[in-house]
């Protein structure tokens, strides 16, 4: 089938390598149901991601031998088996009641919060540092003028002649004058360099201020333009919703396609629903002696009812996720399955459910007590297209679409 919407998310449970106490084991299959093969044996694992519920039982002969040895009733064994049955039936129940994982749209992001996030992603602040003002130079101290005693040795005080004294003083005076001239020249150079640096800094700082103001003006214009574009940027909304859906845990590999229509304040979403053959078809219990787990086939009506709850719950959960992630007014979710066409004999996609969920209507759901909500009845309160009998048998429908008179 050609996808109706442009964005596609495919969650593939995959294969995982587990390391526990240094002993590796391989888990094959989706996260909800898998087989683990390791040094301690082979186990079947059944669980519903996101619920914390799982069931694990050993498949190899060593596990079955314990049951064979239990000829006499063992209260501890019965208790253990009953706990395993309770866990297993909880998983079966959780698959039928997947709607219980629906987030409350009222607790999602608001328009103002999303706009802040949008603008921040497009804001480029002025990061150029201001030029540093040069520090005033430290001037060299002027040399002190030598007095008559400078340079006189111990014996000179008693034996220096007048000619030697005059020669000494002349040399000291010449040295002082040279040092004074050098110091004054150095201080003059330092002052001159400082004035040059000060002039250059003043020019650079003025340019920096001008460029900063220009950038701020451009940023204000850019933000104004971004604000104007915000509610029309479908790519931004689709990217955000895609990230959330890609991280959403689901009991099976699930294909979701979607498209955001900001002008309608609506998310359009298609989901690949499981077949009824994929649903649990047995119930479990403990035999009268309390020695083993027994299984009993569900009635066809019970299996169809669980299937109906599951597919309606999938639509309700996806609607909650979309409205929790994006503050739009509504979301249209349509579910399809694969069936053998009576016309062509080929496997084809057929839609069986299509429903428009509004934020206002979903606000009437008591999410704190969502376990009491029947998703089949709940969708009846919304504009829904479905052909479902009283015994939960579905027929193909034409789903809602952009040009199908949507309001």
Which of residues 230, 245, 278 is at a domain's end?
A: 230
| 97 band by pLDDT with thresholds 50, 70 and 90 | very high
pLDDT above 80 (res 59) = no
Out of 32-46, 177-191, 361-375, least confident range: 32-46
pTM: 0.65
pLDDT above 50 (res 212) = yes
204 & 344 share domain: no
Which of residues 230, 249, 275 is at a domain's end?
A: 230
In the chain, how many domains are there?
2
258 & 391 share domain: yes
Out of 138-142, 193-197, 333-337, least confident range: 193-197
Q: E strands, 29-82, where?
A: 33-38, 41-48, 53-58
How far apart CA 325 and CA 5 sit, in angstroms, is 18
209 & 352 share domain: no
pLDDT above 60 (res 359) = yes
Q: Per-residue b/e over 171-186, b at no fewer than 16 CB within 10 Å?
A: ebeeebeeeeeeeeee
pLDDT above 70 (res 46) = no
* Residue 67 contacts residue 284 (beta carbons within 8 Å): no
Backbone angles phi, psi at 170, to 5 degrees: -65, -45
285 & 196 share domain: no
pLDDT above 80 (res 51) = no
Quick: pLDDT tens for 277-295: 888 888 889 898 888 888 8
Q: Is 324 within the bounds of a domain?
A: yes
Out of 44-53, 254-263, 334-343, 383-392, least confident range: 44-53
Q: Is 111 within the bounds of a domain?
A: no
Out of 36-50, 104-118, 344-358, least confident range: 36-50
How far apart CA 402 and CA 406 sit, in angstroms, is 6
147 & 248 share domain: no
207 & 331 share domain: no
pLDDT of residue 26: 33
Q: Is 128 within the bounds of a domain?
A: yes
374 & 279 share domain: yes
Q: Is 269 or 62 the better-scoring residue by pLDDT?
A: 269
Q: Is 204 within the bounds of a domain?
A: yes
| DSSP summary character for residue 280 | -
pLDDT above 50 (res 71) = yes
Four-CA torsion 316, 301, 298, 394, nearest 10 degrees: -50
Q: Is 405 within the bounds of a domain?
A: no
Which of residues 215, 230, 245 is at a domain's end?
A: 230
pLDDT of residue 151: 59
Which range of residues forms the domain containing residue 201? 122-230
pLDDT above 80 (res 306) = yes
pLDDT of residue 57: 54
174 & 249 share domain: no
Q: Is 160 or 10 the better-scoring residue by pLDDT?
A: 160
Q: Is 112 within the bounds of a domain?
A: no
Give how far Cα 242 sits from Cα of 252, 267, 325, Å. 18, 12, 10
278 & 386 share domain: yes
| 255 band by pLDDT with thresholds 50, 70 and 90 | confident
pLDDT of residue 395: 93
Mean pLDDT (the chain) is: 79
Q: Is 2 within the bounds of a domain?
A: no
388 & 249 share domain: yes
Out of 2-11, 57-66, 330-339, least confident range: 57-66
Q: Is 106 within the bounds of a domain?
A: no
267 & 313 share domain: yes
146 & 285 share domain: no
């Amino acid at each position: 089938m050609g996808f109706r919407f442009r964005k596609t998310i495919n969650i593939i449970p995959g294969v995982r390598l587990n390391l526990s106490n240094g002993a590796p084991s391989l888990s094959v299959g989706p996260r909800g149901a898998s087989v683990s093969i390791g040094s301690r044996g082979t186990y079947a694992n059944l669980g519903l991601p996101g619920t914390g519920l799982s069931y694990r039982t050993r498949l190899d002969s060593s596990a079955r031998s314990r049951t064979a040895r239990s000829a006499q009733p063992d209260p501890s064994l019965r208790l253990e088996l009953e706990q395993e049955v309770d866990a297993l039936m909880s998983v079966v129940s959780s698959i039928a009641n997947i709607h219980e994982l629906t987030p409350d749209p009222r607790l999602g992001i608001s328009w103002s919060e999303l706009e802040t996030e949008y603008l921040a992603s497009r804001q480029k602040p002025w990061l150029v540092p201001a030029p540093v003002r040069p520090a005033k130079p430290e001037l060299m101290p002027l040399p002190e003028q030598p007095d008559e005693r400078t340079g006189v040795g111990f014996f000179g005080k008693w034996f220096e002649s007048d000619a030697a004294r005059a020669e000494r003083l002349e040399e000291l005076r010449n040295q002082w004058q040279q040092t004074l001239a050098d110091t004054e020249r150095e201080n003059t150079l330092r002052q001159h360099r400082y004035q040059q640096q000060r002039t250059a800094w003043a020019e650079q700082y003025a340019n920096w201020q001008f460029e900063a103001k220009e950038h701020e003006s451009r940023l204000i214009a850019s933000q104004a333009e971004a604000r104007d574009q915000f509610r029309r940027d479908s790519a931004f909304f689709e990217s955000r919703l895609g990230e959330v859906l890609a991280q959403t845990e689901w009991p099976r590999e699930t294909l979701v396609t979607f498209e955001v229509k900001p002008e309608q304040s609506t998310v359009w979403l298609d989901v690949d629903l499981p077949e009824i053959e994929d649903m649990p078809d047995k119930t479990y219990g403990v035999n009268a002696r309390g020695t083993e787990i027994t299984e009993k086939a569900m009635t066809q009506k019970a299996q169809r009812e669980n299937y109906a709850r599951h597919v309606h719950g999938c639509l309700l959960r996806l609607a909650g996720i979309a409205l929790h992630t994006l503050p739009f007014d509504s979301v249209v979710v349509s579910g399809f399955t694969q069936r053998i066409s009576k016309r062509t004999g080929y496997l084809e996609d057929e839609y069986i459910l299509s429903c428009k969920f509004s934020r206002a209507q979903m606000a009437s759901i008591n999410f704190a007590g969502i376990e009491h909500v029947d998703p089949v009845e709940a969708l009846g309160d919304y504009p829904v297209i479905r052909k479902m009998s009283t015994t939960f048998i579905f027929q193909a429908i034409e789903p809602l679409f952009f040009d199908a008179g949507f309001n």
